[in-house]
Amino acid sequence: MVMLSEKLAAWSSEELEALNERFRERPPEELLAWAADTFAGRAVLTCSFGGAAGMVLLDIVARQRLPIAVVFLDTDLLFPETYALAREAARHYDIAIEWRRPALTPDEQERQYGPQLYARDPDRCCGIRKVAPLAAALRPYQAWVSGIRRDQTAQRAATEPVQWSAKHGLLKLSPLAYWTERQVWAYIHANGVPYNPLLDRGYPSLGCVPCTRAASADNPRGGRWAGTGKTECGIHL
């Protein structure tokens, strides 16, 4: 694990736009290769082992042996299939995956905040179990790679391949920003990429067990925090 990192000064909108013009219509491999060169060991990919897009990026990083660390945010409340995939991927690609957990176990959280916080205050629960661990995990790095795409939610519709994250003080890279669901699956099948089997069983978007239900392919994230109006855990806001 990288222990220290000089934080970057914010990149200007001109610098970001130049990079987006360069990478927007190029294959994700090119942006990942640039990140590996530019940040030399100080770039990190976060992979949920739930969605298919993250597996595409993991496949590229691992097969090309790019010096990009891989972090798995384990909320302690994920599906058994998700944990199994994280272990299988580490073996399949022969890579190290850093597991990051919340400061509180589910039992400690229940003692401190009462039962079923996810039902009463899901933003606070996500804050404890996802947002804070992500912030800690990103601290040593200068670039953060994730699999978010413009077509996933209204909040992600303006995603660009290269953006500045003021919250984390680093470059946020979304190499699949302009990809479609169809492109993701075409890559997965063409390259034999392992993926979460629940995606074939009526769960087109996966998070924690208490907050994930089966959903239709037309509204893939409709099974996340169903009935609450919440669509994001907060790590991409």
CA atoms of 131 and 165, how far apart (whole Å): 14
Catalytic residue at 126?
A: no
Contact 162, 28 (CB under 8 A): no
- What b/e sequence results for 182-221 when a residue is b if at least 16 CB atoms lie within 10 Å of its CB, and e otherwise? ebbbebbeeeebbbbebbeeebbbbbbebbbeebeeeebb
Residue type, 45: L
Inter-helix orientation angle 52-63/80-93, to 10°: 20
Smallest separation (angstroms) from ligand SF4 to the CB of 1: 23
Can you tell me which of 130, 149, 168, 221 binds ligand SF4, judged by CB under 6 A? 130
Give the rounded distance of the alpha carbon of 187 from its chain centre: 18
H/E stretch holding 68 reads strand 68-73
Phi, psi of 98 (to 5 degrees): -85, 120
Contact 236, 207 (CB under 8 A): no
- 122 near ligand SF4, rule: CB under 6 A: yes
Can you tell me which of 57, 66, 125, 184 binds ligand SF4, judged by CB under 6 A? 125
Smallest separation (angstroms) from ligand SF4 to the CB of 106: 9
**DSSP 3-state assignment of 46?**
strand
Smaller CB separation from ligand SF4, 41 or 234: 234
- 126 near ligand SF4, rule: CB under 6 A: yes
Can you tell me which of 208, 220, 232, 235 binds ligand SF4, judged by CB under 6 A? 208
Smallest separation (angstroms) from ligand SF4 to the CB of 81: 16
- Residues of span 135-174 touching ligand SF4 by CB under 6 A: none
Query: In the block, which residue shows the tokens 């610098």?
Result: 15
Degrees, nearest 5: CA angle 162-168-169: 70
- Residues of span 43-102 touching ligand SF4 by CB under 6 A: 75, 77
Choose the binding region for ligand SF4 from 62-70, 121-129, 167-175, 190-198 (rule: CB under 6 A). Answer: 121-129
Number of residues that bind ligand SF4 (CB under 6 A): 13
Can you tell me which of 118, 178, 187, 195 binds ligand SF4, judged by CB under 6 A? 118
Smallest separation (angstroms) from ligand SF4 to the CB of 113: 11
**Which residues contact ligand SF4 by CB under 6 A?**
75, 77, 118, 122, 125-126, 129-130, 207-208, 210-211, 233
Active site residues: 233
